[in-house]
Each structure stands twice: as C-alpha cells, then as structure tokens.
A and B are shown apart, each in its own frame.
Chain A
Amino acid sequence: MVRRERGFTMLEIVVVLAIFGAFLWIVVVLTADMRAWQKRMPVNFMTHPQISAVVSRLRRDVQDAVRPYYRDSYSTYTMSDKTLIIYTLQAAGTAETVVWDFSTDGEVSRHAFTDVAGQTSVWTARGTPTFKITDFPIADHPDSVRIQAFDKDGKLAIDQIYQPRAH
C-alpha cells in the first residue's frame, strides 16, 4: 500500500506550533523581570552621554567658582531656578562668568563670558531631562547648590549637590 503524503496533518502542525509557542513563552517570562525593572529607572545614562557631560561640566564650573561665587544677573540673564550664573576662575588665571540656562525643556546651554559684551563660547546639550536649581545649605558653607533633573514621567534622574572648592 502506498501512502501519499501531501502537507502535514493537523496534529503535526499543532504539535510544532505548541513547541514554538512554549519556547516564545519562556523568552517572554525571562525578559519580564528585566522590563519591569527598567520601567522604574529614569533616564538611561549609558545611551545619553550628553547628560553626564552636562553634570560633569556643571560640577567643574561650581568648583571653579570664586567669591562672590554666584551673580544675581549678568548680560540678559537673571538668576532663577532655571538659570545659574557662576563667577569662575579659569586655570589660565582669567575670570569667566558662566551662565547655565535650563529654561528650555529638554535642552541645556552653557554660555561663557569674559565681559558682558563678549560671549566666548556657547555649548548646548539636547535630549536632556528637565533641570531645576535649588539652594542646599550645608553648615558653615551656604554656597552649595543642588541641581535636580526630572525625566518625562517626573522621575528624578539627577540629584547633585555642588560646592565651590577652597582656593
């Protein structure tokens, strides 16, 4: 008796699909933990290096600050929770006023001036969380500043306290 096969039987297809389905289910289960954990995290620093760049340049500027450290206003800028004006001393011995402008959401720009008329450099980082500046008084050292940044969902991504260093 010659048995002629054309295609698969229903049973065969069901078995094959069941095996594949079970495999996919295992993959989903294994990655569920990871996805849940990731949801809790704010900005991914590994994929957004510009955010780390903002943080380290800002820290450096505050550390380089010399008395009176901050200024109430400079050029067209006024100190606020979105604008930080720092009076710094550069390694070359020249004084520079640095304005950190956080007023545009998702963007941070740093303006450096040697005098009010002369802006020496502008640097802008895009795709950043929303920054906010607050005072953070530390005993015997009231010139500390706290920089916080929140992601789109309002989760705190950056929280750093800086102090001018002793010169």
Chain B
Amino acid sequence: MKRQRGFSLIEVLAALLVLALVITTTMAMFVERQKRMQTANETILAYQAIANEIEVRRRIPYSDLESASPTFVTLSGDTDILAPLKPYAATVTVAPPQNYIKTVTLSVRWRGGQRVERVMITRVDTGGGGLW
C-alpha cells in the first residue's frame, strides 16, 4: 500500500499552471486597460495641440495660407504639449483652392506613424479682410 503525505510534483505543477493562467489573464486585462488609457491620454494631448493650431490658422489671411509655416507654430521648446509623444511629426498642409475654398489639414503623427490624429478646416475666400 502506497501512503501519500503531501502533494506529488505533478499536482504542484498543475496547481502552478492554473495559478499562472489566472495571473496571466488578470495581467493581460490590466495591460490592455493601461494601453487604452495611454492612447486616450495621448489623443487628448494631440487634440490640444491641433485645437491651438486651428485658432491660429483661422486667423491667417486666406491668401497667406500656403506660405505659412508647414509645422505647428503654437508648439514651443520646453513647454511643448506633445513632448510625451516624441518622436512625433506635426504638419500643416494646404490643398489647392477649389471654388474659393482652401482645405487646411492639421495632423499629428506619433509612435512611428502608428497613431495619427487629423483635423481639416475649410477657409473661404471672403475677398480680403478678416471675418471679424
């Protein structure tokens, strides 16, 4: 008759396997949640930069849109809202005018181009002079 005291190696390994599965699943959930929160926060930063740039681009005279800076003029050195997204690319492009309308596209790319946030604004030729 075989008398057992305590667990066999197989039993302990099986128990550890179950424990490992539980921990892995929990960790995976946690990591996924963090990743999404991270992405959301990054998007908030990107949109702050884009919104600021829009305020400036809305004020640039219609005829000067193409000659304006192709990067964000509202970003400044040490106080750069996009610093946590580095390396990033913030660009402004102006499409050729159609029916007196120019489309200005402001975009921020980060994570090696994996993430892109883009906002387009339309400017109308009012024949000179600001709208206000």
| Contacts from A to B (Cβ < 8 Å) | 4-8, 12, 16, 19-20, 23, 27, 30-31, 34, 37-38, 40-42, 44-47, 136, 138-141, 144, 146, 148, 155-156, 158-163, 166
Contact = CB atoms under 8 A, between A and B. Distances in A.
Which are the 3 A-B pairs with shortest beta-carbon distances?
A: A159-B81, A40-B84, A161-B52
Contacts, number: 96
Given A5-B5, A12-B9, A31-B27, 11 more contacts: A34-B34, A37-B38, A38-B34, A41-B84, A138-B56, A139-B61, A141-B59, A146-B52, A159-B52, A161-B74, A166-B131
B18 interface: no
Given A156-B81, A158-B48, A159-B49, A46 B41 contact: yes
A41 B41 contact: yes
Contacts of A44: 37, 41
17 contacts: A5-B5, A6-B6, A16-B16, A23-B23, A30-B31, A38-B38, A40-B83, A41-B42, A44-B37, A45-B44, A138-B55, A140-B59, A140-B130, A141-B130, A156-B81, A159-B74, A160-B48
The main secondary structure of chain B at its interface with chain A is helix
B85 to A, nearest CB: 8
Given A27-B24, A27-B27, A163 B55 contact: yes
B51 to A, nearest CB: 7
Contacts of A144: 55
Nearest to A4: B3
Given A140-B59, A140-B132, A20 B16 contact: yes
Contact of A141 (B3, B23, B61, B132): B132
A34 B38 CA distance: 9
B84 A160 contact: no
Contacts of A37: 38
A159 B132 contact: no
Given A38-B34, A159-B48, A5 B4 contact: yes
Given A27-B27, A34-B35, A139 B74 contact: no
B40 interface: yes
B104 to A, nearest CB: 15
Contact of A166 (B34, B42, B132): B132
A20 B13 CA distance: 10
A156 B6 contact: no
Contact of B84 (A8, A23, A42): A42
Interface in B22-81: 23-24, 27, 31, 34-35, 37-38, 40-42, 44, 48-49, 51-52, 55-56, 59-61, 74, 79-81
